Structure 1
Amino acid sequence: MVVFASGLFRGGGATRVAFALPKDPVTIYKKGFASPSSRKNLCTDEHYNSEGDFWYFWNPYQDGCPIGGGDLVGVQTDLSPLPVTRGTYPEYSRLYGENGNGDVLQVSYLVGVDENFQNGDLGKKTFRDAFAGLRNAGFRVTVDEPRRKQLVYNTGAKKTHVQMLLLDPNSAEFAAEAARGLRTSDVFLYDGHSGLGGYLDPERLVADSGQPLALPKNKYQIFVFQGCSTYAYYNSAFFSLKRSGADPKGTKNLDIMTTGIGAAFDVGASVDVAFLRSVTMGERPSWQTVMDRVRQAEGGNSALSHINGDEDNPRNP
């Protein structure tokens, strides 16, 4: 399955799409150079120009690309839309009830830097803007450090604790914090680069953190992966870690919000705050309402965000 914009399916039925694949995946990268002495591949992203990134960014139709029709194979296929879920809800009775963290609804919120920790970094701006947004929404600040924030919101018998960390997603520290958050939190939210699937890959987290990544099978959790194309990278891998004899698909105790295409740093804080305000402050809206708010926060920078795993969720709050 792949995530597409709904506008692709005009009339709601199947549609035919055409695209190109390389005849020879081994040699196609070399054919993107204007001459043997050229150092820049003209058929891929200007910044991510290496052969290792070529599979993700390659575009034989961009201006100046020397790859010709003889290097490509045309493919046509029919796409059929799957029905979307309607009227499903997060399992609020468990999220706000006894879910393994006592009277605390624990949110682990990790923000990855874009390039570094300097002022002007887009990830650092997301971190600051999201902190301000949660504070303005009514969360009380208990820790306010440059790379670590903690906020609390009382929802009655339950207290929502949000721990925010600004991290380098390519570091061992990030791997350790991510592994801990995924194991223990009620809601885990990551906003930053996906690293072409590498940063939150379960095997990478185990290797770099030195900790096993055994998710609690009977604890209800929500994971949010606000990065580029996270549906392709982080969806099935985490459902697999939740599987059990009673839950062969791994969806009964896990819902995951992922993106279908690239996610923009510009709207990351707005999306994250919209999500956390909806799910962790006691209001209890449906998943469809939550996603409407996320799309509103995205504005013109839609990442085709969506919820996975809600097909077996409650039909009322």
Structure 2
Amino acid sequence: MRTRLIVMTMMLASCGAGQGTAGPPGAGVAGELSDLVAPEARGKQDTGYYSNVAVELDGAIAGRIELADDASGRRALDDAEFRDTLVQLQLRYAKNGLKAYGLHLNLTAANADVLAPRREGGKIVFVYKIAIETIVTKADLEAGGVRSADELTGQLVRFDAPADPREVFARAGALCASNYKTLDDLTEENYFYYFDSKKQACAQRVPLTRGAFSIRATLPKKTAYPEYDRLAADGRIDVAAYFGAAHAADDGSVSAHDAGLRAWRAFRETLLARGFAISGTADDASAMGERFVRTRASLTETVNVIGPDDLAKPHADPAVLARLIHNNEIIIYAGHAFYGSLDLLDEPSTYPKDRYQIFFMSACWTYEYYTKQIFRNKATASDPSGWTNADVVNDTEVGWFNNYAAVSRILLTNLLRGAETGGREGERRYHWGNIVTSLNKHAFDAYTQYGYRTHELFGVSGVRTNTFTPR
């Protein structure tokens, strides 16, 4: 099996772009040893979702939808797909209400259990219940005096959301939005991100219904490694690094000082400093980018790099991202989350069948936006969870542009070394717990050093069923 490790650092006007006072990403190349996970005496604990700074909780949301009794609303009486679309949309508007309690809701959920819709008081009404997960940070637990996430089991958290979650921006404008800069920032697609049900005039323009999130349990733990045997089975690991511009002009041009361009340069410098040599183009179909190759521990390691200048060319191929995902096995995406609307990740044809893939979704709130989206499209009849063929490294906070080159480098370094050594090198173990801890250490160090407003909270999902054990 031809294994490809994709580091696709797509820096397209990320929500953390251009903030803080970090120095240039290319100011010196870090030594490889400094990127490796710390040695340990024995393996650490890991979960289906693992993070050293956050815990995943299993729960359920109960909610209520109210629609006008007109032709559009009456679709809910007999159209199950339409009802499910409304539920998924209302869940997005629950995001901020739950975040006020420190809960980061996964915004991609399974189909809801819906009670029979009915006419009530001149409206079409139905209630639903849906299983869903959320993240709570350990810092929030400590601030609330909670010693263990297990103490939250059985708790009920209430929230308000639009009774009819369609076209909320068109109805409310700025009346239900907070923390935006100008009205031009608001669209129908991203309005849930700024939605504030507590604004005084909001309920007058957009009727609200109350929902509840019940916490059922913390999810079980185990030590889990990437499936290194599957990655190295054919004697090669291929890496693709996709760097976009932080801010491109209307004509597509990119400033020489753009953070994405600087990160691309820093990543290239690292590859050259660590024994890679340039050998051809990154993508054969489009002839875009550069290919870097080295041989280590009997593995041929290839890094296919596409930079902002490649993407700014008039004839740049817009299909290159989907093609890289389809043709490769491990994807690391660090950039703009597009408020969860990166539709190519929800196209089954984007993904290869029956291949193990690692995704690094290093963008704003990717645990909430994209984790289950990937698993849903990786699922098979024998693996309905999608976990067998995917591990997803995600972020539960803002992604900062100035960190993207470093966290991509750290993840890549440890995955390659893990594949080279069979997952263990003396007391240094390249399991997901240690890799995620290394990512979060860098994020916190950058936060304290450069004065960022927040820092990333990295974790990994889908690893509970991983089977690899170091030799």
Question: Contact conserved, 1:251 with 1:309, CA < 8 A, in 2?
Answer: yes
Counterparts of 1:225 and 1:135, CA distance in 2: 25
1:215 and 1:241 in contact (8 A); partners too: no
Q: Unpaired runs of 5+ in structure 1? A: 35-40, 207-211
Q: Who is 1:112 aligned against?
A: 244
Displacement of 1:306? 1.3
When normalised by structure 1's length, the TM-score is 0.78
2:269 matches 1:132:
yes
Larger Rg: 2
Q: Contact 1:107–1:186 at 8 Å: present in 2 too?
A: no
- SS of corresponding position for 1:118: coil
The 1-side partners of 2:380 and 2:163 are apart by 42
Aligned to 2:375: 239
> What is the distance in 2 between the residues matched to 1:77 and 1:240?
22
Query: One-letter code of the match for 1:309?
Result: G
Aligned to 1:194: 337
Deviation at 1:60, TM superposition (A): 5.7
Q: Cα distance, 1:123 vs. partner? A: 2.1
Q: 1:126-178: CA deviations, max 9, x gaps? A: 22223333444x14131699x83433332322111111212559x99565222
Partner in structure 1 of residue 139 of structure 2: 7
Whether contact under 8 Å (1:139, 1:151) holds in the other structure is no
**Residues 248 and 50 of structure 1: is their aligned pair in 2 closer, same or farther, counting only changes over 3 Å?**
closer
Percentage of pairs with the same residue:
19
Question: Are the structure 2 counterparts of residues 28 and 252 from structure 1 closer, same or farther at C-alpha, using a change threshold of 3 Å?
Answer: closer
Distance in 1 of aligned mates of 2:180 and 2:415: 37
One-letter code aligned to 1:310: V
Distance 2:374 2:215 in 1: 26
Aligned partners of 2:346 and 2:377 also within 8 Å: no
When the two chains are superposed, the root-mean-square deviation of aligned CA atoms in Å is: 3.3
Letter in 2 for 1:55: F
Instruction: Give TM-score scaled by structure 2 length.
Output: 0.55
> Which residue identity is paired with 2:262?
K
Q: Which segment is superposed worse, 73-82 or 288-297? A: 73-82
SS at match of 1:112: coil
Q: Distance in 2 between matches of 1:151 and 1:231?
A: 31
Contact 2:168 2:191 in 1 (8 A): no
- Asked whether 1:148 is paired with 2:289, we answer yes
Q: 1:288 aligns with which of 425, 429, 433?
A: 433
Aligned length: 294
Distance 2:236 2:356 in 1: 14
Equivalent position amino acid for 2:301 in 1: T
**Equivalent residue, structure 1, for 2:161:** 21
The structure 2 residue matched to 1:159, chosen from 275, 300, 304, is: 300
Q: How does 1:1-317 map to 2 (within 5 A)?
A: 1-9=133-141, 10-12=146-148, 13-14=151-152, 17=157, 19-22=159-162, 25=165, 29=169, 31=172, 33=174, 43-46=178-181, 48-59=185-196, 67=201, 77-80=213-216, 82-83=218-219, 85-98=221-234, 103-116=235-248, 117-136=254-273, 138-142=274-278, 148-167=289-308, 175-199=318-342, 201-202=344-345, 212-217=349-354, 219-281=355-417, 282-283=420-421, 284=423, 285-299=430-444, 300=447, 301-314=454-467, 316-317=469-470
Indicate conservation of the 8 Å contact 1:85/1:310, yes or no.
no
The runs of 5 or more residues in structure 2 that have no matched partner are: 1-132, 249-253, 282-287, 424-429, 448-453
Q: Is the 8 A contact 2:364 2:395 kept in 1?
A: yes
* Alpha-carbon separation, structure 1, partners of 2:316 and 2:333: 14
Q: Distance in 1 between matches of 2:209 and 2:300?
A: 57
Q: Please list the CA deviations of residues 45-95 of structure 1 after superposition, one character each: whole Å capped at 9, or x if unmatched.
A: 11523343221123466xxx6646766666554435523533210111111
Tell me which of the two structures has the higher relative contact order, counting C-alpha pairs closer than 8 angstroms and 6 or more residues apart. Answer: 2
**Shift in CA distance, 44/140, structure 1 to aligned 2, threshold 3 Å:** same
